[in-house]
Amino acid sequence: MKNVTITMNDPVADWARIEAARRNTSVSRLVGEMLAEKMRHDDAYERAMREWMADTSGFVSNGQPYPNREEIYAERLDRFR
């Protein structure tokens, strides 16, 4: 484990002390747990994004070009003219 020094505004430090006391832990451990959770969340998001980008099964066009916006909405637009 590494020790680090952080700087925060007084209201943030007050909140951190209260939140740490509420959770029956130290401010140091509270901040460490929050950063670990942020890291897990970001890693999961990045992994999900990579998986989604690699999955081309939803982009199948059977060799045909995808319709453009005008073609998709032509019928609806004609109803309002």
pLDDT tens for each residue of 34-80: 999 999 999 999 999 999 888 877 767 778 888 888 888 887 877 77
* pTM given for the model: 0.59
- Identify which has the larger pLDDT, 27 or 1: 27
Is 1.10.287 the CATH classification of the domain at 1-58? no
- Identify which has the larger pLDDT, 54 or 30: 30
| Residue 30, token pair as written in the block | 């509270």
Residue 5 zone, left/alpha/beta (φ > 0; ψ -120 to 50; rest): beta
Domain edges within the chain:
1-58
Give the CA distances from residue 44 to residues 13, 16, 33, 56, 79, in Å, rounded to whole numbers and listed in that order.
29, 26, 16, 20, 45
What is residue 77's predicted lDDT score, i.e. its pLDDT? 78
